[in-house]
Amino acid sequence: MELVREFTERGYKVSGFDRASVDIGDAARVEHTLAQADPALVLNAAAYNQVDVAEKEPQPAFVANALAVRNLAMACRQLDARFVHFSTDYVFDGMAGRAYTEQDEPHPLGAYAVSKLAGEFYARAYLERPLIIRTCGVFGPGGLKTARGNFVETMLRLAATQKPIRVVEDHVASPTYSPLLAARTADLVERGQHGIFHVGGGAPISWFDFAATIFRVAGMNPELQPTNEKEYRTPARRPKYSVLSNGKMESCGVAPMPPIEKAVELYMQARASYFDKK
């Protein structure tokens, strides 16, 4: 949604496809759909991101995150179209203890992460100049229209229960506001960039501190309690420090990301506008 809006506002003629209109896991359908559209640029923001479910059912994750990317890359090669693919901070194991750069060696920790890294490899195998954008903890207005929502909506929903909220304090990331991600993506496209780029929220923050920021911006004061990985076990292993460095992006003249508090303020403004229109 944000990508369609951003590129449309920049004067591009944009066609958006959801899963109901084209299953990108179906190679023949992808080839037929893209051949009809004959695009100069294809952006793939589709993903299977149920990280814990993927540990029990790895095949759907691999189809959506890897084989579907192969289908899109092959179709783009046939049409001589540029290809932009979105990947994830989860390709890293989180053991570096610092922000990851594009030169760091990936080391995925589970089925979801492996499938996303495989998608990167497929894009690079079939195309000479794909643009692969790794991002982190994406949240945006699109989450208001889906059943799963996003981290911000989860926190607001929990706050409404007036029960204590426990959030991990030992996992650090760089949450990313999706309209800003879309804008930075368009900036990279218009600069003719290719290869791997990190476009994250810009600054390290624990999920506990992110939750505290959300409540502060929202003017709420629920009981927020820290927890940790040992207390909050999940089926899938997650990188404990998966912050992404935006240095390469910024070196191309693309604007840095604003502070996370500003991003949350923008989200709250978009959220208020959405509910005002309903």
Tell me which residues are annotated as active site: 112
CA distance readout (Å), 50 to 47, 108, 112, 121, 167? 9, 15, 8, 21, 19
Tell me which residue has tokens 């695009």.
39
- The dihedral region occupied by 11, where left means phi > 0, alpha psi between -120 and 50, and beta the remainder, is left
Q: Which two structure tokens, joined as six digits, stand for 19? A: 């899963």
DSSP string, 254-268: PPPPPPHHHHHHHHH
Q: Which two structure tokens, joined as six digits, stand for 104? A: 């760091």
Are 65 and 121 in contact, with CB atoms under 8 Å apart?
Answer: no
Tell me which residue has tokens 């992006």.
249
